[in-house]
Structure 1
């Protein structure tokens, strides 16, 4: 009872709203002051028109993105419904009756036509807080769409680069297999003339068979990557089933990426903006739940006509009206309202924890992406050097074998090592390309959330999220 009295007094003093202050948020972190601006169409920085066309097509056709758009429309309609509650409800009511009161009494006819108005006085902010909660959810769905958009573009880019890399490896394997086949043919002639023994010939055939098996496995992976990319792009069923996605012949030149964490990173993440809006919504809903402790006051009114004759119904001397009010207040609900308020508080706590998780995940993704980019460059450079070294080893081994100074097994080992190094270089270049995509995605892909006072406070060493 004391809690109810306290809330009533607070509502009257504090502008008749039962919504509590926002949860205080403490976020401490060190940051660098350099700001890196990412284009909204960040994928264009790769300079690959085929990639640009695929991503643009996916943004129009992808099923997940269309679902996110549908969620925005649902939230928009819900917000519209909640805002309508600010307005009175006016309905038309018509009645016609005929009664017989018994022996020697005439039959009585009664006709009426009325307009009925009902309006809830929003004294405690129930309607206002509910509409504000719906508006926050509507904003959150827009940010969710932006997150889905960034994720889709990243997935298309990753799948596109994977397909290019697999095709590069296919060419490497095909060239190597062609060389092995020529060697098998040459060794067959040598075996027939007695220049080599059967072991050398068998080793050459085995190397060719191994390359054939690798190539077959790689072509399976190419087919899978092609289908996955076609589905992401939203191609027609026939195109998914039969067509091959057109790609560039090589991975593109990679754009530069930032070397540090921007101080404005929180403004670049749609998922964080969405989490903040959901936290706002849950805060408003606490105010809605608390109004159940208080009386609900409504005004009703009626204006119309009533008559015993239908043709004389609408006339000035037949008009009737009334106006009145109603009050509904809880008396004994056995804790229903209390538990609803507790649930609303727990929902706010859950929203806060989701926000906190989104912030931590964002910084974790940024660190991982930046470290991945740095190390992928080192790996790609080292692997390129390895290819050059293995090429030199193979050239020396071949010259030594041709001169009769080394075994055929040594030559085959150098061939296999060179092939492995070339395939590793293709994979390392793919990792480098994907690392750039990861950085753009971690930075929000160019999305910029318009800051307000609450967001600006988050950018300080200590941040408070309050209204």
Structure 2
């Protein structure tokens, strides 16, 4: 029993001694900027602000069944298991072995000189983490795991945004279809009226042919819209994880009213925008992971120190193998380190430094893209609303032009070409207004997405780095004693 305690004390001492680490200071980027709004609150389920129950059902289906999200979740599990595996390096490797040997050392002797030897033992091997190699490796895996969690949040926001955009696009196409169907009914009624006029000799055949071309053009546009509706249905079915039959044959259930409720969204720049971006948080974790790996590489300059031990039993009789007075033990240590590696370790550290520098550049890129997204979203929102107002005015004006042209033609004050132009322009204005309504809705989605879609960093260390007002460049040192 004393021997077992001795081994435990040795293991405890090695754990106590592990305190050195050659990981450099974590690089940081000055992220100070001028904000025009102190705080912005966006709820997690931001899509519910559009007040469309059928849209909510589609988003819920996507969150449950989308293949890309399933892959992102699987990546989290892979990272979690790798982290758990790396943490096990803190513990010794314990194995067992046993043997049974039957010998006769005197040739030609009788069976009475033959004897059996039985043994069973437990072996352990433990590497002292004096240089922080294991600790930094665990830190790497931890950062990669956290990055995978943030990547899932980014994938979730991307998928939900795409579902909402495609749903709105489907509503727009359905509205186009309704406009064209109503227009075709009007055009066909006009065509029948022109046919009667032609038969009565009131109009020429060219006027009738022009009316026919108007009907044919509207019909061709309707066919194109119907084709786009079919494509949009299939794409949305895939996004929301529908069955194979539903993807092939079934259409997505949309609201009967094609109008979209437009919620109020932020119009200014949040002072904590970077805390609401999972892609920025993920790139920071990747930077942290590469920083830990520099420490792992620098530890290669120093020897690996291991403790090995055996605790076992030997006996000439199998049934007495585990009797207390038959136990035996030994413990020892080993040291293996580089003598002349001709610069291999130095090159590994240089590579780790360069990979850290690449992660720092990617982090800076993620920060800049975040600000780009915010600016683009806010400008698009503002301009799409302006365009929508213009299209409303245009649609009203073209309606008035069409009514006047129709009256003038019937009264004989203008030719048929003027009426045809007015009809075409009125149809284009109605379709243009529908498109501008879609642009406004999509611009709102863009704002939600730019502001992180309800995501918020809750780790204080990460918050401090994301809100840093100083820049710390990555280390370029290959020396384990320089940071």
Q: Same fold (TM over 0.5)?
A: yes
Tell me the residue number matched to 1:48: 52
Tell me the residue number matched to 1:224: 231
Structure 2 Cα separation of the partners of residues 465 and 32 of structure 1: 29
Pick one of 266, 279, 282 that aligns with 2:274.
266
Kindly indicate whether residue 385 of structure 2 is the aligned counterpart of residue 377 of structure 1: yes
Structure 2 Cα separation of the partners of residues 405 and 129 of structure 1: 87
Structure 1 Cα separation of the partners of residues 350 and 188 of structure 2: 76
**Greater shift in the superposed pair: 216-225 or 251-260:** 251-260
Q: Extract unaligned runs of 5+ from structure 1.
A: 1-12
Pick one of 326, 329, 342 that aligns with 1:334.
342
Tell me the residue number matched to 1:21: 25
Pick one of 171, 184, 190 that aligns with 1:183.
190
Kindly indicate whether residue 351 of structure 2 is the aligned counterpart of residue 346 of structure 1: no
Pick one of 442, 447, 455 that aligns with 1:447.
455
Tell me the residue number matched to 1:433: 441
Does the aligned pair in 2 maintain the 1:457–1:464 contact within 8 Å? no
Does the aligned pair in 1 maintain the 2:37–2:271 contact within 8 Å? yes
Does the aligned pair in 2 maintain the 1:29–1:461 contact within 8 Å? no
Structure 2 Cα separation of the partners of residues 82 and 15 of structure 1: 18
Does the aligned pair in 2 maintain the 1:25–1:464 contact within 8 Å? yes
Kindly indicate whether residue 366 of structure 2 is the aligned counterpart of residue 362 of structure 1: no
Structure 1 Cα separation of the partners of residues 149 and 99 of structure 2: 47
Q: CA deviation at 1:84?
A: 1.1
Q: CA deviation at 1:338?
A: 1.5
State the number of aligned residues.
455
After TM superposition, list the pairs within 5 Å mapping 1:80-229 onto structure 2.
80-101=84-105, 103-104=107-108, 106-229=113-236
Does the aligned pair in 1 maintain the 2:177–2:225 contact within 8 Å? yes
Does the aligned pair in 2 maintain the 1:454–1:465 contact within 8 Å? no
Structure 2 Cα separation of the partners of residues 459 and 312 of structure 1: 68
Tell me the residue number matched to 1:418: 426
Q: Are the structure 2 counterparts of residues 355 and 409 from structure 1 closer, same or farther at C-alpha, using a change threshold of 3 Å?
A: same
CA RMSD for the aligned pairs?
A: 1.9
Structure 1 Cα separation of the partners of residues 454 and 417 of structure 2: 54
Does the aligned pair in 1 maintain the 2:18–2:129 contact within 8 Å? no
Q: Are the structure 2 counterparts of residues 452 and 135 from structure 1 closer, same or farther at C-alpha, using a change threshold of 3 Å?
A: same
Q: CA deviation at 1:457?
A: 5.0
Structure 2 Cα separation of the partners of residues 103 and 115 of structure 1: 34
